[in-house]
Structure 1
Amino acid sequence: MKKLCLFAILAITFSCKNNKETSEKEALNHTSNANPNIIILYVDDLGYGDLSCYGATGVKTPNIDKLATNGVKFTDAHSATATCTPSRYAMLTGNYAFRRKAAVLKGDAPLIISTEQPTLPKMLKKAGYKTAVIGKWHLGLGDGNVDWNTTVKPGPAEIGFDYSFLLPSTGDRVPSVYMENGNILNLSQDDPIEVSYTEKIGNRPTGYENPELRRQIADDQHNKTIINGISRIGWMKGGKSAEWVDEDFPYKLTEKANNFIKNNKKQPFFLYYAFHDIHVPRLPHKNFQGKTSMGPRGDAILQVDYVVGEIVKSLEAEGIANNTMIIFTSDNGPVLNDGYEDDAVEKLGNHKPAGIYRGGKYSVYEAGTRVPTIVHWPEKVTPKVSDALMNQVDFYSSFAALTNQTPETTILDSKNYLDALLGKTDSGRQEVILEGYTLALRQGNWKYIKPSNNKGTWITEEKKIESGLTPQEQLFDLSKDPSEQNNLAEQYPDKVEELKNKLQEIEHLSK
C-alpha cells in the first residue's frame, strides 16, 4: 500500500512538472510564432536631417543608426501634418486630421478622439494585443470640465489603451505632472491641483512676474506658471507633491516602457512610446548635457538615441527582439526656437535639421512632414533604403492587414501599405494629402499646395520658418526641385487643375 501511495505521489509530481514545462513551452511558442509585438517610437519635432543615418554630422545617433542599417530606412515618409496633435490624431484613427479640424490643443482641452470611433489600439486589442501609451499625450483628456484630483476620463483607456503613463499634455503646458491610468501620480490630497488657461490662479511664481526665477527666457505665451525653473503655458495651482522634473523624462518614461515590455512578453503587445524630446523646453539629463556642440537641442537628440538603445536592450533581454516590429519616426519636422531661448540657433553650426528640404514644423513645405522613418523587424525585413511615398495615417490599415483584420468603413484615409513598410516593395502611395495650416497633395513627385489667405506671419516672424502659405497656387516637381524653390503653377495649368480637383475629391469624402 505504501509503495502504491509513493508511486501515485511520484506520478502526480511528474505530471505537474510536465504540465508546467508544457505550459512554459506553449508560452514561448506563442511569443515566437504569434503576431509580432509592435512598438512605435514617436519622437517630437525631429527633423529629416537630425540623425547621423540621415546625414547629420553635428550629432551621432548610433542606436538609431543600427535600426536603420538593419531595417528599412525611408527617404519619403511623412507625418500626416506639420504639428503634433493633428499628427497623433491621424496616426491613431486612420483619418486625416482636417476631417476633425484637429489643432494643437491646450493643456485642459477635452479628448479629441471620440470614444465611439475606431482606433489603432482598439483594433489591435481585437487581435489579442495588450496596449500601452507612454509619454507625451497631447490629445486632450476628459470631457471639457476636468477635475484633475480624481480619475480623469475619458482618456487613453476609453480609446483602447490598457495602460497609460502620460505627460497629460506636453512639456511646455500645465499640468506639469505625471498621470498613470487616469490618475495624477504622487498627488497629495492636501494640495489639490487646479489648472487655468484663461486667468492666473493660485500664488505660484510666473515668468512674467518673476523672470529672475526662470532658467530659460520664454516668449509671452510660455511665460506663465514656473515649474522646475521653467515658465509654462497656462497657470497651475497646487500639486507640489506631483510635479515632474523634466530632466528625468528619459529615465522615468523608459522605466515604465521596459516594465510594460517585461510584464507582457508572453503575448503580443502594442507600445506607443511618445517621446517628449526634442520638443521645448529642452532640458536634457545631466548625463547628456554638453555632450554635443549644439547645446540642449543636440544633447536632447543624444538622449533620444540613448532611450532607443535601452528599449532594444530590454527586448533582447526578454528574448523577444526577433518578434518585435519597431517603427521609429517623428510627429512633424524641426523647429529651433519654439517659445524658449536655449541656444538652438546660436549653436547650430553646419547642422541642417531639415536636410535639403524647405520649411519645418508648422510648414506645408516638405520639411514640415517629411520625417525620419525606420522600420526594424529582425528576420522579417530585408535591410534597404526605400523611396516609397509613405504616411503615418496608413499605420492603421497596414497593422490591420498584419493581424488579419478588415478596417471599419469609417476609416476613410488609411490604406494598407504593409509590404512597403516591410521593404517587400518600393511602391508606396500614389497620392497623399499633407497638412500645414493649408493642404497639399503629393502625387508621385508632383506637389500641389492649396492657396491660403492665412499668411502665417507668426510662423515666419516668430519661428523663422517658411510656412508655404500664399494666396497663390503652388506646384513643384520634387524630382527636379526637392527643395521647392521653383513654383511651376503658371507653366503647368493643366496639372494644377488636375491636382486641385483630386484634392477636392479626397477632401469631400463622406463618412
Structure 2
Amino acid sequence: MKSFFSLFSFLLILSFAFESCSGSAEPVTEEEQAPPNVVIIFLDDSGWGDFEPFGNKELSTPGVSTLASEGRMFKNFYVPQAICSASRSALLTGCYPGRTKVFGAHGPNARGLERTFATMGEVFKPAGYTTAIFGKWHCGDQPDTRPPARGFDRSSGLMYSNDMWKHHPESPEHWGQYPIKYWENGEVTIEDVSKEDQKHLTQWYTERAVNFIKENKDTSFLLYVPHSMPHVPLFVSDEFEGKSGQGLYADVLLELDWSVSQINQALKDNGLEENTIVIFTSDNGPWTSYGNHSGQTPFREAKATSFDGGIRSACIIKYPPLIEAGSSSTSTFFSIDLLPSLCHLADVPLPGNEIDGMNVWDLIEGKPDAKNPHDYYAISTGSHFEGVMSGDGNWKLHLPHNYRVLVEPGMDGMAGKYKQMQIDTALYRMDGDGMETENVLDQQREIADELIRLAKAHQQRFFAPEEGADTGGH
C-alpha cells in the first residue's frame, strides 16, 4: 500500500510539472525576457512613402511589408534634424544636435561627434553586447571618432556620404581632393571607391550583417546597418539593375528591400527572432532636388527643412514578445528616444553624460494610456534652431526662419534648383493638418505662448545667436 501511494505521489508531481511546461502557461512578461538583441536598419534620404506599407502602390516591397506584418508601423516618427550627420549623431547618442554641436553633413577628415557624448556602441558594449556597424558612419573621420574608437567591435563601410567624391555632379574639383575610402575594422581596404564599388555597397553591408548575426547567435549583440542608399549618387548591383521596370531609384529600393528581408530571415534562421528588436527607418526625408533619383513624401517640403517632409520618417519596430504583429501607431516620438528606450528594455545603464531623449517604451509597446513624457521636441536645420513640437505631437511651432523650396527638380543624377522662402512664427495643428498649411497661431494663443516659452528656453540653452551653417545637406 505504501508503494502505491509513493507511485501515486510521484505521478501527481510529474503531472503538475508537465502542466507547468505546457502551452497553457501565462505569456512571458517584459521583466522575464532575456536582454534582447538590437538591430537598427537606417536608410539614407528615403522618403516616408517609398515602401509599400507606407503608401507606395506602384512598387512591391515584400521585405519591408513582411517586417510591417510582423511588427508595428509608426506613422509619426521624427528626427530632430533632417540632415545626415546631425540625424545619425542624434540617433546614436540620444542628444539634440544643439547639445552635441553636430550640425548638417560633415565632410572628409571632419572631427565629428566629440567623445564626451557616448554612442550606442559605447553604452551597450560594457553591458556585454557585441557591437557592429556596417554602412555609412558619418559621425567623424578622425582616428578617435571612427567606429572602432566609438564602441563598435566590428565595422565596415564609408566614413561619409557617397557623393563626396571626384564624380560629384556640381563640385568635382572640391570633392576630388578626398578619395572615398572603404574601411574594414579600422583598416582601409579600398583606397579610392569606384563606381563599380558603389554598385556593391548595399550587398556588402547586408552580407556582413547576416554573417555577424550567424557568428553571434549565442551572445547578445547590437547591430547597426546605416545604408548609403538611397542617397545620391544611386548605384545598384547587377542583380537588381532594371528589376523594377520603374527606373533606377525603384531598383535601389528593391535592393534595400532585399537587404531588410535577408537580415530579418537571418534572425529567424538562427533562432533569434523572438529575442531581437528590429528597427527600420531613415535619417530624414527625400532629397527632392534630384527629381527621379529621390523618394516620395506626402508631407510639406523635404530634406534639410523643419517641415514634416524633412523630419518625419517611416518607421517599423518589431519585437514579437511585446509588440503586436501587424499593428500601427500614430503616437509621436523622436529618434533621440530610441537609446533610452532600448536601455530600458535591455536593462542597460544610460550613458554618464546628459542626454535629451526619454524612455518611451510604453508608447512603442502600445500600452493603454501611455503618454509621451516630453513637454516638447526641438527641431533644427544646420545650426539654426527653427521650432518645437509638443510632446504629444499635436502641435508644431515654427520660429521665423528661411527655408528652401524646390522649383525645378533635377533629372538622372543632376541637382535641381531651389528658391529661398521665409516663414514667420507659425503654429500648426498636426493631428488635423499634417501638411502644415493653416497657421492657427492667432486662434490658439495659449498653446502658442507655451510653445514659444519652451522654444525660447531651449534656444537660450543650446544655441548661440551668432551660430550659422550651410543647410544644403549631403
Decide: shared fold, TM above 0.5. yes
Which of 415, 437, 440 does residue 387 from structure 2 map onto?
Answer: 440
Residue 72 of structure 2 is matched in structure 1 by: 72
Q: Within 5 A, what are the aligned runs for 1:250-261?
A: 250-261=202-213
Query: Aligned partners of 1:258 and 1:236: how far apart in 2?
Result: 28
Q: Secondary structure at the match of 1:371?
A: strand
Residue 449 of structure 1 is matched in structure 2 by: 398
Query: Aligned partners of 1:118 and 1:507: how far apart in 2?
Result: 23
Say if 1:360 and 1:466, in contact at 8 Å, map to a contact too: no
Residue 19 of structure 2 is matched in structure 1 by: none
Residue 309 of structure 2 is matched in structure 1 by: 367
Residue 43 of structure 2 is matched in structure 1 by: 43
Query: Aligned partners of 1:135 and 1:263: how far apart in 2?
Result: 18
Query: Aligned partners of 1:87 and 1:125: how far apart in 2?
Result: 22
Residue 473 of structure 1 is matched in structure 2 by: 425
Instruction: Indicate how the Cα distance of structure 1 residues 441 and 33 shifts in structure 2: closer, same or farther if over 3 A, else same.
Output: closer
Query: Aligned partners of 1:291 and 1:128: how far apart in 2?
Result: 42
Say if 1:476 and 1:486, in contact at 8 Å, map to a contact too: yes
Residue 269 of structure 2 is matched in structure 1 by: 317
Instruction: Indicate how the Cα distance of structure 1 residues 468 and 447 shifts in structure 2: closer, same or farther if over 3 A, else same.
Output: farther
Q: Once the 2 structures are TM-superposed, how far is the Cα of residue 301 of structure 1 from its aligned partner?
A: 0.9
Say if 2:49 and 2:55, in contact at 8 Å, map to a contact too: yes
Q: Once the 2 structures are TM-superposed, how far is the Cα of residue 447 of structure 1 from its aligned partner?
A: 0.7
Residue 186 of structure 1 is matched in structure 2 by: none
Q: Once the 2 structures are TM-superposed, how far is the Cα of residue 460 of structure 1 from its aligned partner?
A: 5.9
Identity of aligned residues (%): 27
Query: Aligned partners of 2:45 and 2:431: how far apart in 1?
Result: 25
Query: Aligned partners of 1:300 and 1:293: how far apart in 2?
Result: 12
Q: Within 5 A, what are the aligned runs for 1:1-12?
A: none
Which of 322, 346, 364 does residue 380 from structure 1 map onto?
Answer: 322
Q: Within 5 A, what are the aligned runs for 1:338-417?
A: 338=290, 343-344=292-293, 353-355=296-298, 357-383=299-325, 384-408=327-351, 410-417=353-360
Query: Aligned partners of 1:233 and 1:65: how far apart in 2?
Result: 39
Q: Is 2:245 aligned against 1:302? A: no
Q: Secondary structure at the match of 1:68?
A: helix
**Aligned AA (1:220):** E
**Aligned AA (1:163):** R
Instruction: Indicate how the Cα distance of structure 1 residues 117 and 102 shifts in structure 2: closer, same or farther if over 3 A, else same.
Output: closer
**Aligned AA (2:333):** M
Q: Secondary structure at the match of 1:67?
A: helix
Query: Aligned partners of 1:457 and 1:442: how far apart in 2?
Result: 20
**Aligned AA (1:435):** S
Partner deviation per Cα, 1:148-178 (whole Å, 9 max, x = no partner): xxxx44421222111111212121124xxxx
CA RMSD for the aligned pairs?
A: 2.8
Residue 161 of structure 1 is matched in structure 2 by: 152
Instruction: Indicate how the Cα distance of structure 1 residues 92 and 459 shifts in structure 2: closer, same or farther if over 3 A, else same.
Output: farther
Q: Once the 2 structures are TM-superposed, how far is the Cα of residue 119 of structure 1 from its aligned partner?
A: 2.2
Q: Once the 2 structures are TM-superposed, how far is the Cα of residue 361 of structure 1 from its aligned partner?
A: 0.7
Unaligned runs of 5+ in 1: 1-31, 143-151, 175-205, 208-217, 226-231, 346-351
Q: Once the 2 structures are TM-superposed, how far is the Cα of residue 123 of structure 1 from its aligned partner?
A: 1.3
Say if 1:115 and 1:158, in contact at 8 Å, map to a contact too: no
Query: Aligned partners of 1:439 and 1:501: how far apart in 2?
Result: 14
Q: Once the 2 structures are TM-superposed, how far is the Cα of residue 468 of structure 1 from its aligned partner?
A: 9.3
* Segment drifting more, 489-498 vs 277-286: 489-498
Say if 1:294 and 1:344, in contact at 8 Å, map to a contact too: no
Query: Aligned partners of 1:468 and 1:491: how far apart in 2?
Result: 28
Query: Aligned partners of 1:248 and 1:237: how far apart in 2?
Result: 14
Query: Aligned partners of 2:256 and 2:431: how far apart in 1?
Result: 32
Instruction: Indicate how the Cα distance of structure 1 residues 468 and 161 shifts in structure 2: closer, same or farther if over 3 A, else same.
Output: farther
Q: Is 2:364 aligned against 1:421? A: yes
Q: Once the 2 structures are TM-superposed, how far is the Cα of residue 243 of structure 1 from its aligned partner?
A: 3.0
Q: Once the 2 structures are TM-superposed, how far is the Cα of residue 263 of structure 1 from its aligned partner?
A: 1.5
TM-score scaled to structure 2, two decimals? 0.79
Q: Within 5 A, what are the aligned runs for 1:1-150?
A: 34-142=34-142
Aligned residue pair count = 411
Say if 2:85 and 2:102, in contact at 8 Å, map to a contact too: yes
Query: Aligned partners of 2:180 and 2:114: how far apart in 1?
Result: 29
Say if 1:412 and 1:509, in contact at 8 Å, map to a contact too: no
* Segment drifting more, 396-405 vs 74-83: 396-405
Query: Aligned partners of 2:180 and 2:364: how far apart in 1?
Result: 46
Q: Is 2:164 aligned against 1:170? A: no
Instruction: Indicate how the Cα distance of structure 1 residues 257 and 56 shifts in structure 2: closer, same or farther if over 3 A, else same.
Output: same
Partner deviation per Cα, 1:87-132 (whole Å, 9 max, x = no partner): 1011111110122332234432333222233222111112210111
Query: Aligned partners of 1:456 and 1:171: how far apart in 2?
Result: 25
Partner deviation per Cα, 1:237-282 (whole Å, 9 max, x = no partner): 9997653511111221111111211221111000010111111111
Partner deviation per Cα, 1:32-84 (whole Å, 9 max, x = no partner): 96311100000111111111101111212111111111211111011221111
Query: Aligned partners of 2:447 and 2:418: how far apart in 1?
Result: 24
Q: Once the 2 structures are TM-superposed, how far is the Cα of residue 306 of structure 1 from its aligned partner?
A: 0.3
Q: Once the 2 structures are TM-superposed, how far is the Cα of residue 219 of structure 1 from its aligned partner?
A: 3.7
Query: Aligned partners of 1:126 and 1:43: how far apart in 2?
Result: 27
Say if 1:105 and 1:140, in contact at 8 Å, map to a contact too: no
Query: Aligned partners of 1:399 and 1:58: how far apart in 2?
Result: 34
